[in-house]
Structure 1
Amino acid sequence: MTTTLKYVGKKTRCQGKTLWEILGNLKDFGVGRLIVRNSYARYKEPCFMRVIEVKAQPNKVPPPIKVYRPPNDLRDNDRAREVHMICETVFRGVKFEQPQQIDTASILPDYSLVPKHLEHTYTYSKLASEKREENIIPAYIEVPPFLKYLLKKDGIDDPKINTIINQSPESLYRLAKDGEQPTKPFSTGFQRANNSNLYKGIQEDI
């Protein structure tokens, strides 16, 4: 009789080893070597890290009360050891100006060591020198209809909301400057429904 396993829940993209498993077995803790995250393999542009400095972090003291963690959560895993790594980072073909620090993410089993004879496929890639396409989004978005109605009663003729986006170095988006045309316009979805019966007895100017 065969047993069928059925996995329930979100699948993880992590496939590989932790940084401690890789760097702990290399001379000088792998300084100068290239490390890649396997979850970034979905990008066509090269993504890699060149190790500059490595320090092993002490093992964390387990909490006094056992807390339930999903099977893929490694925060309480005694086998996973955090590593403090400083590295030059290239993400989607763009090199960060400042060295990046990796510590808590080092326990993820998502890293692989690039063999020396294959490093040139990353560092001399054509995509690594090409300028990444910018995604420009509007600096302001529309407000919900009822809020717009209330603001107009207070004397605000053209109410808008500032757009807030992630400004991290790896972000692919930026806000449009004054007079600049966005390349990625978007709408909040507050438009009139197709069923006209919904608007019977309602003021059209609201």
Structure 2
Amino acid sequence: MPRVFIGRTHDLYGKSLWELLCNLKDFGVGRVVMRTKPNRRYPERSWLKIISAQPEMDPENRRGSVTVTEVYRGVALPGERVLRRTTALTDYQLVPRREEAAFCQLSPERVAAATRVLPATVPKPVLLLELERQRASSDVRPDMPAIYRRAWYYQVEGSGEGSRA
């Protein structure tokens, strides 16, 4: 009889963050850890550098808070982040000390190849365009300015400056 798996599957690969940190001196302060999911999905590298770790000392050693600096897709995110909920995901791999310098070096070719240029304007929806034409007697522009949530990450067309480097 064949085996039938029931339930949702996941595409995580590795260990939980606390499985790694509990086996390291000072809970891995100063070490580099990577998440495998973004590193498989995107050409740029992503990693976390451990600043401090406070385990909750639960029986399974799967809870606590970890303060990290994060580099996501080749861009250092501003400030420090505190990880609490994602530490239990089995998606982390420890980067060996002898490979940390080479792993954390950003390759300009990989970052430049993945830079996305987004348009500065987008076309208006048809209904909005018709309503504006009925209410206004003057010219109505068929496009409107685009607003992006993560503008620090993308380069907007016509802005001139590259927001990613």
Please indicate, yes or no, whether the TM-score normalized by the shorter chain is above 0.5.
Answer: yes
- The ranges of structure 1 where at least 4 consecutive aligned residues each deviate by more than 4 angstroms after the TM superposition are 6-9
Partner of 2:38: 40
Structure 1 CA distance for aligned equivalents of residues 21 and 131 of structure 2: 59
Indicate the structure (1 or 2) with the bigger Cα radius of gyration. Answer: 1
Aligned-pair identity (%): 27
**Within 5 Å, which residues of 2 pair with 1:121-136?**
121-123=102-104, 125=105, 128-130=106-108, 132-133=111-112, 134-136=115-117
1:157 aligns to what? 140
Matched AA of 2:147: I
What is the aligned partner in structure 1 of residue 149 from structure 2? 166
Question: What is residue 50 of structure 1 aligned with on the other side?
Answer: 49
TM-score (norm 1): 0.61
1:88 aligned counterpart, secondary structure? strand
Residues 106-155 of structure 1, C-alpha deviations (whole Å, 9 max, x = no match) = 121111112223223303x4xx0527334232233212223211211111
Partner deviation per Cα, 1:13-48 (whole Å, 9 max, x = no partner) = 311111111112211001111111011222332222
Q: Which structure 2 residue ranges, 5 or more long, are not aligned?
A: 161-165
Q: Which structure: greater helix fraction? A: 2
Provide closer, same or farther for how the CA distance between residues 15 and 168 of structure 1 changes in structure 2, counting only shifts above 3 A.
Answer: farther
Distance 1:80 1:54, change over 3 A: closer
SS in 2 for 1:17: coil
- Using the alignment, how far apart are the partners of 1:110 and 1:159 within structure 2? 46
SS in 2 for 1:119: helix
- Asked if the contact 1:18–1:80 (Cα under 8 Å) also holds between the matched residues in 2, the reply is no
Structure 1 alignment gaps of length 5 or more? 60-77, 182-206
Equivalent pairs, count? 154
The 1:180/1:15 distance shift into structure 2, 3 A limit, reads same
